[in-house]
A and B are shown apart, each in its own frame.
Chain A
Amino acid sequence: MSKESAAAAAFAALQETAQQNWAGLREKPLILIGAATCGRAAGALNLLEEVKNELARLQLDANVLEVGCMGHCYAEPIMVIYNEGFPPICYGYVNEGVGARIVRDFLTEGDPGIEFALAALEPNDMFPTFADFPRGIHENKIVMEQCGFIDPTDINHYIATGGYGALVKSLAMTPEEIIDTVKSSGLRGRGGAGFPTGVKWETCHNAPGDTKYVICNADEGDPGAFMDRTILESNPHLMVEGLIIAARAVGAQKGYVYIRAEYPLAVQRVTLAVQQAREKGLLGDGILGSEFNFEIEIFQGSGAFVCGEETALIASMEGQPGLPRYRPPFPAVAGLWGKPTIINNVKTLSYVPHIVKNGADWFKKTGTEKNPGTAIFALAGKVVNTGLAEVPMSTTLNELIFDVGSGIAKGKQFKAVQIGGPSGGCLPESAMDTPIDFDSLTRAGAMMGSGGMVVLDEDDCMVEIARFFLDFTQKESCGKCTFCRLGTKHMLDILERITKGQGRPEDIDVLLELADKVKAGSLCSLGKTAPNPVLSTIKYFREEYEAHINEGRCPAKMCKDLTAYYILPEKCERSCDACVGSCPTEAIYDNEDRIKVINQEKCVKCDSCMVACPPQYKAVVKLSPPHLVEEKEKEYREGKKKWQKK
């Protein structure tokens, strides 16, 4: 028996066990509960307990599984029930009490409780599936296919759904064949830069030396981004399989998963996945009876954003301070401990098993020629359906935000979308037809980044947004090189002044000049891209900067120093004291007409009165610049005088 067929035979045995285990689940009703970090934050663990208690109370027999996240984070906690005679149904917003009720009605009376259902998971004639909604039309799940549908803590589920098949296939391929497949698939690194993965692998493969390393970069740190976390928590084996195949391709014996320690659940699930893979003979010495040896170790990052930069990541693994260094040499030639090393993002590695299994041509069918495959975005901010979405490259921003994300929350007006995290930029309405791919987004002044997308509405001040992101990069700058350390500091100081109403006429020009130099002069990509949020907001929203500087006015009424709260006398319902009770500083009093007035000296602009004022009155408004309050008050007094004369 040849080595390859021995591996295939060994794997067939694993598959049989896995499939028995998987089929066994469906012998009883099966209940899945989305318990990734997003689900847990929404109360998934309480739901889990509630469902288990209800099953015990009713003495019902069902399998209950904790699964990951399928991307519909907005509707969390989420529950899926497979019940004989019905299509599998996914329920959303399963809050306290609802879970027990659905389980009770469905499993005892056959009432699926469609009022709580989001969608069915399989086509049927009673209830729409996700594919019937605008979101479903755009969604195309490759990496996220099994996320939320399998137990991430059970390797059998992954194997039963086709997992590790690509590894077996790759064992029968030469390293060159694997690299060729990845190269011709056109896969580009999903960490942000979009470098062709196959080229990186080839460089590492051709680099001299017997000791080589592969590293999975899971140091996700962009504000508002949670793609890698969700994938690792929902289907860690996909990345593990990708990493093993990468090792086989470049000739590495050791791999690391660099996960930030702030992702404890992801760390736990990846650790378990590696352990299970080892127990099944998919890791370790002589993988599946072949001559290929490979081990994976988990390395927890200690919370520095810059450690997502590959040279800083390596430095931190070597026990050095996490500072980037000048390239070349590139890590693919001299990386960890000076050995050839490839570092790939979680998503990049998660595509690899699919590409190896289905071939390069299959992958190229999705997306565009230069940007094949899908893009995975974490939709956050003022969008209705926050969560994770996987759509083909070349889907437009418009489609992603308004179809997949269902538009802007609370009926507000869309203003901009911040893409690519602190290295990315803000794109306005006019850029909404931009197709999502590495090149188009860069041309528009943003960046693909690793997939963070923060949607902004009319209440968001673009100067403040730029300040927020620059504050982040400035704090996370390692401080090694002059431009990033001091350039971002000066830029931040200027932005802070502007948001406080102390802007100077020359500020915009100084910002542009500094931004240009920081981009050109910085050592690593953190500095080279740090000015992007400032540049893109000046490019598209210059009038907002000018309003702050020249008029002391914040158009979005977000900057506290440029905004004052005011109660419209004509709208105030005199006998209602809602605002008075809500004010923490007792700044609201009755005037002689029993109309509520805000003492501006005492007001701390906490927004409580605006929230407290009943929606039928909507009497509390924000005014910018703040001196408008005096004018309004004067107007009111004069109007009253006139009325009294009559």
Chain B
Amino acid sequence: MAEKVTIIIDGQKISATAGEMLLRAALDNGIYIPHLCAGGEETGHPPASCRLCFVEVEGRPAPVPACTLPVTEGLVIQTRSERVDGLVAAGFELLMSNHRLDCKNCPANGSCELQRIAKARKLRLKPKNLPVLDKNLPVDDSVPGIIYDPNKCVLCGRCVRACRRSGSGVLGFTRRGYQRVVTTFGDSTLAESGCTGCKECARACPVGALSQTD
């Protein structure tokens, strides 16, 4: 049995398992911290790529991502501060500048993690200072029951890992920089890629880039 430690998040005393990541401990205790790449049941080295779960840690000079902070006894955390809010707002705006915004027609409407973050942190879905970048990539509906719209993808990687866990492993990241994209081997359609249609990817996707039609 792992050792239990007590930490303080926003003044609230919380009991957590030593060594588990702070983000998990907070979420398990009903404290919401914005996040995309750290998926629900995932273990292993955190990807730490969405850069939204910043928190203030007492004794640290700058905000750190909660997904990479192992819990230790006596940790004192603030989930909000001017610096944290600034970083989260900037990161969120960057993501939204590259997310095709069509909530009304989106299957994730209402359950979308982006909407949740916007609501929790009072952020605009439409970027204010930045122009919208749209790569205009083709939508893939080749497998019955799954629609993949890469223009909505925030590159959190949850689908890639879900696909791997399911045993298919047809999804992966390719290219780099701004061109980075979740796709299949050789950019073939999902139907040609060996996708079994298990829809684990669609269930993992937090933003409606991969969705189920039924």
Complex formed: what's the CA distance from A522 to B177 in Å? Answer: 13
Question: B129 near A517 (CB under 8 angstroms)?
Answer: no
Question: A486 near B94 (CB under 8 angstroms)?
Answer: yes
Is residue B90 within 8 Å, beta carbon to beta carbon, of the partner chain?
A: yes
Question: B177 near A520 (CB under 8 angstroms)?
Answer: no
Question: A520 near B98 (CB under 8 angstroms)?
Answer: no
Question: B176 near A479 (CB under 8 angstroms)?
Answer: yes
Question: B98 near A486 (CB under 8 angstroms)?
Answer: yes
Complex formed: what's the CA distance from A325 to B37 in Å? Answer: 13
Q: Closest CB of chain B to A157's CB: distance in Å?
A: 42
Residues 483-527 of A, flagged 1 when their CB comes within 8 A of B and 0 if not, give: 101111110010000000000001000100110010011110000
Closest Cβ neighbor of B156 among chain A residues: A482
Is residue A326 within 8 Å, beta carbon to beta carbon, of the partner chain?
A: yes
Is residue A475 within 8 Å, beta carbon to beta carbon, of the partner chain?
A: yes
Contact residues in B for A517 (Cβ distance below 8 Å): 86-87, 90-91
Question: B176 near A520 (CB under 8 angstroms)?
Answer: no
Is residue B180 within 8 Å, beta carbon to beta carbon, of the partner chain?
A: yes
Contact residues in B for A520 (Cβ distance below 8 Å): 62-63, 83, 87
Known: A510-B129, A517-B90, A517-B91. A482 touches B51 (CB 8 A): yes
Question: B176 near A521 (CB under 8 angstroms)?
Answer: no
Complex formed: what's the CA distance from A506 to B131 in Å? Answer: 13
Residues 86-117 of B, flagged 1 when their CB comes within 8 A of A and 0 if not, give: 11001100110110000000000000000000
Known: A476-B177, A486-B178, A490-B94. A326 touches B45 (CB 8 A): yes
Known: A486-B95, A520-B87, A522-B51. A321 touches B129 (CB 8 A): no
Contact residues in B for A485 (Cβ distance below 8 Å): 155, 177-178, 180
A325, A488, A514, A520: most-surrounded residue (chain B CB, <10 A): A520
Question: A326 near B95 (CB under 8 angstroms)?
Answer: no
Is residue B50 within 8 Å, beta carbon to beta carbon, of the partner chain?
A: yes
Closest Cβ neighbor of A514 among chain B residues: B90
Is residue A612 within 8 Å, beta carbon to beta carbon, of the partner chain?
A: no
Contact residues in B for A493 (Cβ distance below 8 Å): 131
Partner of A490, one of B68, B130, B175, B179: B130
Question: A479 near B45 (CB under 8 angstroms)?
Answer: no
Is residue B196 within 8 Å, beta carbon to beta carbon, of the partner chain?
A: no
Contact residues in B for A513 (Cβ distance below 8 Å): 90, 129
Q: Closest CB of chain A to B175's CB: distance in Å?
A: 7
Contact residues in B for A480 (Cβ distance below 8 Å): 47, 49, 155, 180
CB neighbors of A among B22-46 (8 A): 45-46
Complex formed: what's the CA distance from A80 to B122 in Å? Answer: 71
Partner of A325, one of B45, B52, B65, B155: B45
CB neighbors of A among B52-79 (8 A): 52, 54, 62-63, 65, 68
Question: A521 near B180 (CB under 8 angstroms)?
Answer: no
Q: Closest CB of chain B to A539's CB: distance in Å?
A: 20
Question: B90 near A474 (CB under 8 angstroms)?
Answer: no
Q: Closest CB of chain A to B117's CB: distance in Å?
A: 12
Question: B178 near A482 (CB under 8 angstroms)?
Answer: no
Contact residues in B for A486 (Cβ distance below 8 Å): 94-95, 97-98, 133, 178
Sorting the interface of chain A by its residue count into under 10, 10 to 19, 20 to 34 or 35 or more gives 20 to 34
Sorting the interface of chain B by its residue count into under 10, 10 to 19, 20 to 34 or 35 or more gives 35 or more
Is residue B185 within 8 Å, beta carbon to beta carbon, of the partner chain?
A: no
Residues 166-183 of B, flagged 1 when their CB comes within 8 A of A and 0 if not, give: 000000010111111000
Is residue A537 within 8 Å, beta carbon to beta carbon, of the partner chain?
A: no
Complex formed: what's the CA distance from A485 to B94 in Å? Answer: 9
Q: Closest CB of chain B to A96's CB: distance in Å?
A: 43
Q: Closest CB of chain B to A254's CB: distance in Å?
A: 23
A477, A486, A487, A520: most-surrounded residue (chain B CB, <10 A): A486
Question: B97 near A490 (CB under 8 angstroms)?
Answer: yes
Question: B49 near A482 (CB under 8 angstroms)?
Answer: yes
Closest Cβ neighbor of B127 among chain A residues: A490
Residues 294-319 of A, flagged 1 when their CB comes within 8 A of B and 0 if not, give: 00000000001010000000000000
Partner of A521, one of B91, B97, B130, B175: B91
Partner of B95, one of A474, A479, A482, A488: A482
Question: A489 near B178 (CB under 8 angstroms)?
Answer: yes
Contact residues in A for B50 (Cβ distance below 8 Å): 481-482
Partner of B179, one of A321, A479, A487: A479
Is residue A244 within 8 Å, beta carbon to beta carbon, of the partner chain?
A: no
Contact residues in B for A321 (Cβ distance below 8 Å): 173
Contact residues in B for A475 (Cβ distance below 8 Å): 177
Is residue B18 within 8 Å, beta carbon to beta carbon, of the partner chain?
A: no
Partner of B177, one of A477, A521, A523: A477
Is residue A69 within 8 Å, beta carbon to beta carbon, of the partner chain?
A: no
Complex formed: what's the CA distance from A629 to B133 in Å? Answer: 36
Complex formed: what's the CA distance from A309 to B179 in Å? Answer: 20
Is residue B125 within 8 Å, beta carbon to beta carbon, of the partner chain?
A: no
Q: Which 10 A-B pairs have the closest CB atoms?
A: A479-B180, A517-B90, A486-B94, A326-B48, A477-B177, A489-B178, A481-B49, A479-B177, A480-B49, A326-B68
What are 29 A-B contacts with C-beta separation under 8 Å? A304-B176, A306-B176, A325-B47, A326-B47, A478-B176, A479-B155, A479-B173, A479-B176, A480-B49, A481-B48, A481-B50, A482-B50, A482-B95, A482-B154, A483-B51, A486-B97, A486-B133, A487-B94, A488-B177, A490-B94, A490-B133, A506-B129, A510-B129, A513-B90, A520-B83, A520-B87, A521-B51, A521-B54, A521-B87
Known: A480-B47, A506-B129. 20 other contacts (CB 8 A): A321-B173, A326-B45, A326-B65, A477-B177, A478-B180, A479-B179, A482-B91, A482-B154, A486-B97, A486-B98, A486-B133, A486-B178, A489-B133, A490-B94, A510-B130, A513-B129, A517-B86, A517-B87, A520-B63, A521-B54
